[in-house]
Structure 1
Amino acid sequence: MVPYRVIHGVESTLLINHVAHQHLALLLLPALERSAPSRVVAITSDAHSFYNKLDLDLPSAETYNSMAMYSASKVANILMVHGLRKQIKSPKVYVNSVHPGMVSTEIFRTGVHAEFLPWSIRGLVETVFRFFHSTFGYSLEQGALTQLYVSTSPDVEKNEWQGQYFTPIAKLDKASDFSRDTEQVDRLWKWTNDTITRILTETKQV
């Protein structure tokens, strides 16, 4: 996780993990439709299931919780998948999301930023978390399999999988009810597009 940072008026985790991804997807959309059959695979996390609200107000440094913002960005990835599907005219552009699993990487080498825990136990929790992550996590090769499957397998087109959620390894699963809520899909889509437009307008004036 990352320390509190605001970029262009948006909390950095949400900006990088979600807003930037939606902007890229929209830029690629004409090419995706022209080259159909094509695919979009959004990388999310099972951490999305910990988040069942959509608070788009900028958090303060005092109320910031890196784990909560990470979970928010991951549920946003799934909501974006459903929002993007509404924009696509071709039924042959397959848009799905993937949870790669707990992959044994160096991402937590500086700690898990468990600032929501008391200092007295934070170090112990971080040590235990890193141990389980490195011992029981998927290898890098295993961690790539599910997104490779959803990106390349003929099963996706054969089964016409759209807006689906996959977990390791290459399993069709069910995302949280909140991440599939139509009202939340539309609300986030509008907020994100408005945010993209605002940032592009501001940066062009620099």
Structure 2
Amino acid sequence: MARRGARVILACRNRERAEAAVFDIRTKSGNNQVTFMQLDLASLKSVRAFAETFLKSEPQLHVLINNAGVGSGSKTVDGYNTILGVNHLGHFLLTHLLLDRLKQNAPSRIVTVASMMYRFGKIDFSNLNPPGNSVIQQIQNYSCSKLCNILFMRELANHLEGTKVTCYSVHPGMVNTEVFRYMTFLQKIFFLPFAALFFQTPSAGAQTSIYCAVQEGIEKFSGRYLADCKVQEVLPHARDDAVARKLWEISERMVGLQSQ
């Protein structure tokens, strides 16, 4: 994005690492319009503070990429399991708070990084916030959060009809990042060598997100799921419009948004 001349805001939790990334991107791209703003998706208060600061300081927003995600962890400050809180609820609230600015700058796009792990996800409305006390439960929670990403983009596309704002969910591939950084030491011993051997680099993993952000002519695919820069058909449970609508309504309540 920086190489294309965009003004890029890195919304990150860790200031030190974010500022190092800003320096690196500026150096490699030759674009000084790259900056950091504090955002912790595990805190709904932080999400609201970020949105308030952003809307006061940034008159334009053309592309929102919801990229953050974790695969383990305990609870957010709001009492949700970290995986659901960061991967779905934080992005859900952030997107809503920035939506008017995206509409004002239309045509614009929203890209949410999901995962093929959605296949193993199940939305249980009687227990949408289960604890992640075991590895199996964390995998289940991760899969559920990625299913939430896809259903969110599907329902959001319905709300955005006629606005020239489009949205997409993407599977980036298996990418060797720190998404599982909260693993125990023993878990890391087994997982990290496997990831180093078989997972993609972050640069390769970013390609479908970039495609959805800049490719011309894909507006007709708003709400769809893409992998390897191609539209993919999702399994039936990921295109259930009734579940998507209910998830939207419950998510609104969980993040403190007034029902629409």
TM-score (norm 2): 0.63
Query: What residue in structure 2 maps to residue 163 of structure 1?
Result: 223
Residues 19-168 of structure 1 mapped to structure 2, 5 A cutoff: 19-55=89-125, 57=127, 58-60=129-131, 65-108=137-180, 111=183, 127-157=189-219, 160-167=220-227
Mark the CA change 1:62 to 1:38 in structure 2 (over 3 Å): closer, same or farther.
closer
1:55 to partner: Cα distance: 3.8
Counterpart CA distance in 2 for 1:2 and 1:193 is 23
Mark the CA change 1:35 to 1:61 in structure 2 (over 3 Å): closer, same or farther.
closer
Counterpart CA distance in 2 for 1:14 and 1:34 is 30
Mark the CA change 1:20 to 1:3 in structure 2 (over 3 Å): closer, same or farther.
closer
Query: What residue in structure 2 maps to residue 11 of structure 1?
Result: 81
Check conservation: 1:36, 1:90, Cα contact below 8 A: no
1:87 to partner: Cα distance: 2.0
Counterpart CA distance in 1 for 2:189 and 2:77 is 31
Mark the CA change 1:180 to 1:198 in structure 2 (over 3 Å): closer, same or farther.
same
Check conservation: 1:108, 1:130, Cα contact below 8 A: no
- When you count helix as a share of all residues, which structure comes out higher? 1
| 1:50-92 alpha-carbon deviations (Å, 9 max, x no partner) | 0133345232566881111111111001111122122224252
Please tell me the root mean square deviation across aligned C-alpha atoms, in Å: 2.6
Range that drifts further, 8-17 or 141-150? 8-17
Larger RCO (alpha carbons 8 Å, 6+ apart): 1
Counterpart CA distance in 2 for 1:77 and 1:189 is 11
Tell me the matched-pair count. 186
Q: Which runs of 4+ in 1 moved over 6 A?
A: none
Counterpart CA distance in 2 for 1:8 and 1:109 is 21
Counterpart CA distance in 1 for 2:109 and 2:84 is 23
Percent identity at matched positions?
29
Mark the CA change 1:78 to 1:197 in structure 2 (over 3 Å): closer, same or farther.
same
Mark the CA change 1:23 to 1:110 in structure 2 (over 3 Å): closer, same or farther.
closer
Is 2:247 the partner of 1:176? no
Amino acid at match of 1:137: F
